Structure 1
Amino acid sequence: MTALAFESKSHWNYEERYLQEAKRHMVINKKDIIEELVYLMEDGERILGFYQFNIREDRSELVWFFTARESIGKGLGSLLWKNLVLRIKALGVKQFIIKSDPNAEGFYLKNGAINIGSTESVIDKNIKLALLKYRIN
């Protein structure tokens, strides 16, 4: 999953320095998989996409949401998004926060999220991440 996250992030024309810092930050480990909601979409033995979701009473958050680089823009993200919403709705989540890469913000807005501000990237303070909220009907 970590490799897919990096591959997907590399789709957007970031500088190599930024991508290497991002690679160190975008790590999904065994503890995350045990303690949080993690879902994979696979085709045989290849991971096509995944998400990691942190459920908290006070502020649930979409931690990671990535599709394979060759799948970007082909509808796979929409399928994965629908799966996410159905799963967390069944768990009683009413709304959640997304800290979105600037290149992914349009995807989340198209799927019903609203922009509520911005926050600094932990990787590069010069990059602002869109702070989004999604309410589940």
Structure 2
Amino acid sequence: MNSTKVFKAQIEEIDILNRISFASKQHWGYPEEWMELWKEDLLLTEHDFEVQQIYKLVLEKMIIGFCAIQELDEAYDVTNLWIAPSHIGHGFGKQLLSFCIEKVVRNDKPIIVEADPNAEAFYASQGFVTYGQKESLPKGRFLPVMKKTLSHN
């Protein structure tokens, strides 16, 4: 699949990564006022680089996406998975998620994600199962909470 490579993201790339997450979310046509409500949750912080493992997907020297996973006591949490809008739908999300799970997940704990409703089918295709929902903004909007279990042999 093309000439993509995955590398550990660097703090110096935070602005590029944040532009990708925001543009990727906007790709789904959400109203501007909703985007504003979510802005803080969409943006990576320096602290995120300290507590999460963040990997970038590079295509021909250009960062086109990133994935962040944080290990918690009970589970691994996919906190971010974003692909630049022009590259959505070409298998890059699957490639990046698979790489990160393989690289980061070392213990027999479930992998969880609070998915955007538009991404629920994608995560389901990657073996995640919806087991709950979490209220989001604006009021009355809910996110599917999904889980995947790996068995390490």
TM-score of the aligned structures, taking structure 2 as reference length: 0.82
Residue 78 of structure 1 deviates from its aligned partner by 1.1
Q: Is the 8 A contact 1:85 1:136 kept in 2?
A: no
5+ residue gaps, structure 1, are none
Is the counterpart of residue 19 in structure 1 residue 35 in structure 2?
yes
Q: Deviation per CA, 1:88-114, whole angstroms, max 9, x where unpaired?
A: 23x225312110100000000001000
Query: Which stretches of structure 1, 4 residues or more, deviate above 6 A after TM superposition?
Result: none
Count residues in correspondence: 135
Is the counterpart of residue 73 in structure 1 residue 85 in structure 2?
no
> Aligned runs of 1:28-67 on 2, under 5 Å?
28-67=44-83
The CA distance in 1 between the partners of 2:104 and 2:58, in whole Å, is 20
- Sequence identity (%): 26
Aligned residue in 2 for 1:126:
140
The CA distance in 2 between the partners of 1:35 and 1:45, in whole Å, is 26
The CA distance in 2 between the partners of 1:57 and 1:76, in whole Å, is 29
Aligned residue in 2 for 1:98:
113
Residue 46 of structure 1 deviates from its aligned partner by 2.6
Is the counterpart of residue 88 in structure 1 residue 104 in structure 2?
yes
